[in-house]
Chains A and B, each alone.
Chain A
């Protein structure tokens, strides 16, 4: 066997000799990759668990998306205004940076002007996004990428001290995840400032959401493996989210009326408390079903629950808002019920309920929408009957629900 191998080697050498021309010609493509962008890209390719990829101050331009596939890597810049990864020349890739790994930290840098999403993290545990800015620098435009920071199907997610600007869908979007904290971020000029979707256990607090179409959204979408529940939205500043909806028709957020403060759609067990919610022109809080946006004929997986249930609103500081709702139906309704100069109450509910759960025409127990918030009122716009019998009757909503536990992120 050994002999045979050596014979092959000899024959191989003969081949190489005979074809000498072959060996000389690789020079044209073997130049070292000198561009800085390629140096950074190569660090992503060569990353080993435990690595910290430091990207110094500067602006770096990429034509192609970056991706990371190795666990336990930290990507660290010199600051969200100092280290800028710019994708304005991007020609390939559906996101700026795609991470498919766990124990991942990204901090202190900016990702700008990506064609699609800025930062997507698909299926990982222990994800930290800290001090990151995602921005489309031309301001809110429909042609901007969809999401700024987008962890999806992740467990243990911390997004803090970050800034998301001008995403054509959600600035910070946590999808189909478990155990999530989103805190101390600023979201501006996105369609949705912060969106928690199909996620189990999320605490959203001390954020600042303004000038979005909708400030903070808690959604459930059909046809997905995991329905979400258990989100606490508290101690946030949510004001003047009145930017015209520039989302793409057909996306779920395109149905969000301009002037929405906090929106719950088809999600359950959502607690909204101690926020400062002001001057959101449609309504400071909206509770709705997926049916509210013309999806009456929806085909979904059999067990999808389209009704928002177990919603508890208390201790918020409301002011202004509801004075100029977006959309003809709501405008007409407001004028009819509250007059030209009046305003919708702080909480707007579309009125879709699961008929099978009603007792004497009302939701009961843990499924209720409870408001224990001083003078804050509700308007049920009677969505199921095309707004025929809207009501401001608070009696079914004067209740409290058991409070949800805090999310704890071990080790983050």
Chain B
């Protein structure tokens, strides 16, 4: 007991020095106004520091969010573990807190509206995100309470020192600066109901769920502060997860940018991460009859020669979801290449076109064989 006290006091004394560690907190029934009240990730001394036992993670192929980078973390109360699930999201215990911090690199001023299009960081070797030349936008919390998950958006202040709960969401007007272009866009912080727009992946039960922590998304190495390790192995070792099989026996999505993987695997991984939370057999987009989970066969219900149902403007004047060999005649390409809210896919969570993702879909459609046999 004495040793405990000593360590904790020492941590207190060292606060605001290099490597303090906060204690994560689970709020069982209140929604604190400040992100720091959750303790999970804390901005201090130009760093976003992970609290004690908070584990960062990454996904093989993530959802595109206007080129924002994302720092994801998970924390479970001591003595608890999530149950492994083969295809679904893991079954997390009450008390679990997941965070996702959206940020951009900037030149100079942290509150700059000019944000840079840069490559994502690999891993988190210092267990903290250096905030020099970073603009933090928002941190979303998913907390597993007794009655289910809640989703809460916190928006970072100008000084990057604290994020404040903003249940009504927000719009951030930013400019994405790339090597050869500058594009103004309206970054959307979702309101709490809109969180359910993606996270209620079953539109009948409407229970909010995490989306990322599935075996196939997590099955990859991550650069931790004490070395690189497969995430499923690490999660098992630190008791975040139990009963996980060896990585080789678990599902694994392709990394969408990894050209060593097949084009189909990369495209399926991309569609899984960006579409299947709605486009699954029980999801909000089951109304369309378009199913894009990795287990769905590539046929009419995957879009091949499929008529649109309620696409409206989203058809772009095209007749079928996917016309094999012809991305220019495929509604898929039209909708991912659009930034008009009336027609773009996904409907929510981006204001910019993901040029590289759209190019991947194009390339995949272009090499598909067959035809749809009809034209207008």
Interface residues, chain A, with chain B CB atoms under 8 Å away? 3-4, 7-8, 10-15, 17-19, 21-22, 25-30, 33, 38, 41-42, 44-45, 63-65, 67-69, 90-94, 98, 100, 114-117, 122-123, 142-143, 145-147, 150, 152-153, 168-169, 173, 175-176, 221-225, 248-252, 290, 293-301
Query: What are 29 inter-chain pairs, A to B, with CB distance below 8 A?
Result: A3-B1, A8-B8, A11-B9, A14-B13, A15-B12, A17-B15, A18-B16, A22-B43, A25-B161, A26-B162, A28-B158, A30-B164, A64-B171, A67-B196, A68-B193, A69-B196, A69-B206, A91-B351, A93-B347, A116-B341, A116-B342, A123-B203, A223-B306, A225-B286, A225-B289, A248-B312, A250-B308, A251-B315, A299-B305
A100 touches B287 (CB 8 A): no
- Residues of chain A within 8 A (CB-CB) of B366 are none
Q: What is the predominant secondary structure among interface residues of chain B facing chain A?
A: loop
Cβ contacts under 8 Å, A168 to chain B:
312-313
B27 touches A (CB below 8 Å): no
Knowing A7-B5, A94-B347, A297-B374, the reply to whether A248 touches B316 (Cβ < 8 A) is yes
B311 touches A29 (CB 8 A): no
Contact B9–A14 (Cβ < 8 Å) = yes
Of B99-107, B174-182, B184-192, B214-222, the one contacting chain A is B184-192
B310-A146 in contact (CB<8A): yes
Out of A18, A100, A150, name the residue touching B284 (CB < 8 Å).
A100
Q: Is the CB of B315 within 8 A of A14?
A: no
In contact, A299 and B372 (Cβ under 8 angstroms): yes
Bound form: Cα–Cα A69–B205 in Å:
12
Contact partner of A25 (CB less than 8 A), chosen from B159, B186, B193, B372, is B159
A11/B12 in contact, CB under 8 A: yes
Q: A26-B162, A248-B314 known; 6 other A-B pairs, CB under 8 Å?
A: A11-B11, A26-B157, A100-B284, A249-B376, A252-B308, A298-B305
For B193, the closest partner residue in chain A by CB is A67
Tell me the B13-35 residues at the A interface (CB within 8 Å): 13, 15-16, 20, 22-23, 33-34
Check B191–A145 contact: CB distance below 8 A.
no
How far does the Cβ of B141 sit from chain A's closest Cβ, in whole Å? 16
Interface centre among B1, B33, B43, B311, by most chain A C-beta atoms within 10 angstroms, is: B311
Q: Is the CB of B341 within 8 A of A90?
A: yes
Nearest CB of chain A from residue B110's CB, rounded to whole Å: 13
* Inter-chain contacts of B44 with A (CB < 8 A): 19, 22
* In the complex, chain A residues whose CB is within 8 Å of the CB of B305: 297-299
Contact across chains for B164 and A147 when beta carbons are under 8 A apart: no
**B166 within 8 Å of A by Cβ?**
yes
- Bound form: Cα–Cα A150–B348 in Å: 18
Which residues of chain B have C-beta atoms less than 8 A from A225's C-beta?
Answer: 286, 289
Asked whether any CB of chain A lies closer than 8 Å to the CB of B108, the reply is: no
B162 pairs with A250, CB closer than 8 A: no
In the bound complex, do residue A38 and residue B168 qualify as a contact, i.e. CB atoms below 8 Å apart?
yes
Give 1 or 0 for each of B187-227: 1 = CB within 8 Å of chain A CB. 01001111011001001101000000000000000000000
Central interface residue in A10, A45, A143, A225, by most chain B CB within 10 Å: A45
B300 touches A30 (CB 8 A): no
Q: Report Cα–Cα, A260/B316, bound state, in Å.
A: 24
B237 in the interface (beta carbon within 8 A): no
Complex-state Cα separation, A3 to B20, whole angstroms:
22
B373 at the interface (CB under 8 A from A): yes
Residues of chain B within 8 A of A94, CB atoms compared: 341-342, 344, 347-348
Interface contact tally, CB-CB below 8 A: 244
Interface assignment of B41: CB less than 8 Å from any CB of chain A: no
Q: Smallest CB–CB gap between B53 and chain A, Å?
A: 13
A98→B347 CA distance, assembly (Å):
12
Partner of B341, one of A14, A91, A142, A294: A91
Name the one of A10, A145, A169, A176 contacting B287, with C-beta atoms under 8 angstroms. A176
Nearest A-chain residue to B306, judged by Cβ? A223
CA distance A251 to B315 in the complex (A): 7
Contact B12 A18 (CB under 8 A): yes
A223 to B44, CA, bound (A): 53
User: Is A45 a contact partner of B15 (Cβ separation < 8 A)?
Assistant: no
Interchain CB contact under 8 A, A223 and B300: yes
Tell me whether A146 and B193 are in contact (CB under 8 A). Answer: no
**What are the 6 A-B residue pairs with the smallest beta carbon separation, nearest first?**
A297-B373, A146-B312, A14-B12, A250-B315, A18-B15, A94-B347
Do B312 and A122 have beta carbons less than 8 Å apart? no
Closest to B155 in A: A29
CB contact list, B140-160 vs A, under 8 A: 155-159
- CB-defined interface of B330-352 with A at 8 Å, one 1/0 digit per residue? 01000000001111100110010
Nearest Cβ distance between residue A224 and chain B, in whole angstroms?
Answer: 5
User: Which residues of the other chain, A, contact B42 by a CB distance below 8 angstroms?
Assistant: 22
B36 interfacial contact with A, CB 8 Å: yes
Contact between B351 and A14 (Cβ–Cβ < 8 Å)?
A: no
Q: Are B289 and A29 touching (Cβ within 8 A)? A: no
Measured in the bound complex, the distance between the Cα atoms of B304 and A92 in whole Å is: 29
CB distance from B33 to the nearest CB of A (A): 7
Bound complex: CA of A300 vs CA of B300, how far in Å? Answer: 6
The residue that A295 contacts in the complex, of B12, B169, B307, B310, with Cβ under 8 A, is: B307
B162: A residues at CB distance < 8 A: 22, 25-26, 29
Cβ of B295 < 8 Å from any Cβ of A? no
Asked if residues A26 and B312 are in contact (CB atoms below 8 Å), the reply is: no
CB-nearest residue of chain A relative to B171?
Answer: A63
Q: Which one of A8, A42, A91, A221 contacts B309 once the chains associate, using CB atoms below 8 Å? A: A221
